[in-house]
Structure 1
Amino acid sequence: MDNKKEGSSKPNAQFNILRNDPTKGDGGYGVGSISLENVTPIIIDRETQEVFIDMGALHGRSKVEQKVFFKNVTKEEVEELDPHKYWVIWIALDRNQKGVHYSGAGACEILVATKTKEGSRRIFGYKSMPEHVNSLDKAIKRKFVLDIMDDESKQALKKFLVDFNNEYWEKSPEELKDSL
């Protein structure tokens, strides 16, 4: 997938930067709610190591999830259908006195069958919603949980983050740099 606008050397996908704090204000509606304004989903194709931002993942509608049936299917059933494997990495950004930096990251997987089940035309996939929610929660809480990722994918993610904005990378905590 080409993430560049025609005639531009910059990727057209953007990271979300914190705008509003839902816990501030008059104490009325929305206090204590979780803001996803500062979270960006990054997807890594584990076979090709292609890395891209897909904001649709925030609502379970990323490019790799479209037209895939995830209900009532176990991981083992999908693994029998020769799945294509992806990582979804939730990246949180923050701004402090040093500037904007990557402040949290959590990884989880999605499997999408490359074959259909006998007697079915549906494309089946597997993702663990609790795993996705927990990974997103870790990123929002400024933790780095990338240990389930393979080394090749970690290197692809690191290259993507550095290439996207080296200043963000340089200002990021050592915990992120050590985990990649």
Structure 2
Amino acid sequence: METNDKVKKPLALNIISNKVDHKGFGAGSIDLNSVSGMIIDGDQAYIDEGTLHAKSKVEKGIKFSMNKEDVPNGRKCWIVWVAVGRKEEGPYYAGVASCEMLIDTEARRGWKILAEHVNRMDRAMKRKIMLENLDASEKALLKEALIGHNPQWWEHSEDELKLALQ
């Protein structure tokens, strides 16, 4: 008996995988299992699994330019890279870095600097907190989303993150 009910996987921040380290092919390569992306769009902040492949909800169908002038009617959106680490107390938000984008959904045009997104994702994975480009309301949205996703991870997080989101 077949069922047509598709089980939708809940959105979650990835956490360090259970893979056993090895010394063969791919050793030393970047492990993206501990990083996820959150989107801040207007008055919403949410996890979007598509961010790692530039296929988030806001990026789908958008042709990106490196020139802001190409997107005069774009709205500001953010990808916030969140790396989860482990310490004695348990998992925590270890690295967090925000990257700006402009999105004009109607014109299907956008602006972002891909190199900045890659560099900031790398910095988050290296346990850096880089949120200086967010305004107070965006910081409040991000803080609420992080706490809402997992209050224990927030509790275990370093004071640097908590201060950055005040």
Given the two structures, how large is their TM-score scaled by the length of structure 2?
Answer: 0.88
The answer for the alignment partner of 1:153 in structure 2 is 138
Deviation, 1:127, is 0.9
Pairwise CA RMSD of aligned residues?
Answer: 1.7
- Which amino acid in structure 1 is aligned with residue 124 of structure 2? A
Whole-angstrom CA distance in 2 between matches of 1:17 and 1:69: 31
1:104 aligns with 2:76: no
| Separation (CA, whole Å) in 2 of partners of 1:138 and 1:63 | 24
Query: How many angstroms does 1:20 deviate by?
Result: 4.6
Correspondent of 1:30 among 26, 33, 40: 26
2:35 paired residue number:
39
Conserved 8 A contact 2:62-2:105? no
Preserved CA contact (<8 Å) 1:39 1:93: yes
1:176 aligns to what SS in structure 2?
A: helix
Task: Give TM-score scaled by structure 1 length.
Answer: 0.82
Counterpart in the other structure of 1:17: 15
Contact 1:87 1:108 in 2 (8 A): yes
Distance 1:43 1:55, change over 3 A: same
Q: CA deviation at 1:112?
A: 1.1
The percentage of counterpart residues that share the same residue type is: 40
The C-alpha deviation readout for 1:143-172, integer Å capped at 9, x for no partner, is: 000101111100110011111111100100
User: C-alpha distance in 1, partners of 2:109/2:64?
Assistant: 6
Q: Kindly state the Cα deviation for residue 21 of structure 1 after the two structures are TM-superposed.
A: 6.6
1:67 corresponds in structure 2 to 61
Post-superposition Cα deviations, 1:39-93, rounded to whole Å, max 9, x if no partner, equal 1100011x3x21111111100111101111114x511221x2x112211000000
Query: How much does 1:109 deviate?
Result: 1.2
4+ residue runs of structure 1 moved beyond 4 angstroms? Answer: none
Deviation string 1:76-124 (CA, Å, 9 cap, x unpaired) is: 221x2x11221100000011211010000110011112553xxxxxx21
C-alpha distance in 1 between matches for 2:148 and 2:59 = 26
2:115 matches 1:130: yes
The structure-2 alpha-carbon separation of the partners of 1:51 and 1:115, relative to structure 1 and needing over 3 Å to count, comes to: same
The Cα shift of 1:177 comes to 0.5
Unaligned 5+ segments in structure 1 are: 1-10, 117-122
Alignment match, 2:4: none
Structure 2 unmatched runs, 5+:
1-8
Q: Is the 8 A contact 1:21 1:35 kept in 2?
A: no
The number of equivalent residue pairs is 157
1:90 maps to which of 71, 81, 88: 81
